[in-house]
Amino acid sequence: MRGRTVGTKWISYGFFLIILAFDAVIAAVLFATLKFALSADVKYKTVFALVVFAGLPGIPKALLASLSLVARSQCRFLYLPESDCYESGYFVDPAAHPILYSFLTSFDIFTIWTLVLTAIGLTCITKIKSGTAFAVVFGWFAAAILMGVGAAAIFS
């Protein structure tokens, strides 16, 4: 228990650095795709800023998760599900179908919102068409989902 407490403390302190590192990797992938595959005139720092600002819908998601956690601990007489109901994986039992659960938890309203904001932002900061920007963003998202589902299939 003490080890978990110490681990949680350090993860919570470094959470924002982890998010920034994750955003830097996403920006690097998008930058490389835009620069080398589509020959777009764009700078890395612009794409990084776009990724950070497009990720702001994660704040209400975190607030909802915190609120449900507090409500679950304070209101013992209320039935509150363990998972958040804005994820489509909410309707699947993770123990029975881990691969399907991994696939469906990737789709929630906040993730789609972030992807759409990223695609719209890419159309604004580059001279590529909006369809191309949506294809790039959702294509990389599909690749990430396939890697996650593959990992779930390997480790289940």
Kindly state the tokens that stand for 141: 């998202």
Instruction: Dump pLDDT digits (tens) for 44-65.
Output: 999 999 999 999 998 888 888 7
Residues 37 and 21: their CA atoms lie apart, in Å, by 23
Instruction: Dump pLDDT digits (tens) for 61-100.
Output: 888 877 777 776 655 544 444 445 556 666 677 677 777 8
pLDDT, position 80:
45
Return the beta strands (E) in 88-140 as ranges.
Answer: none
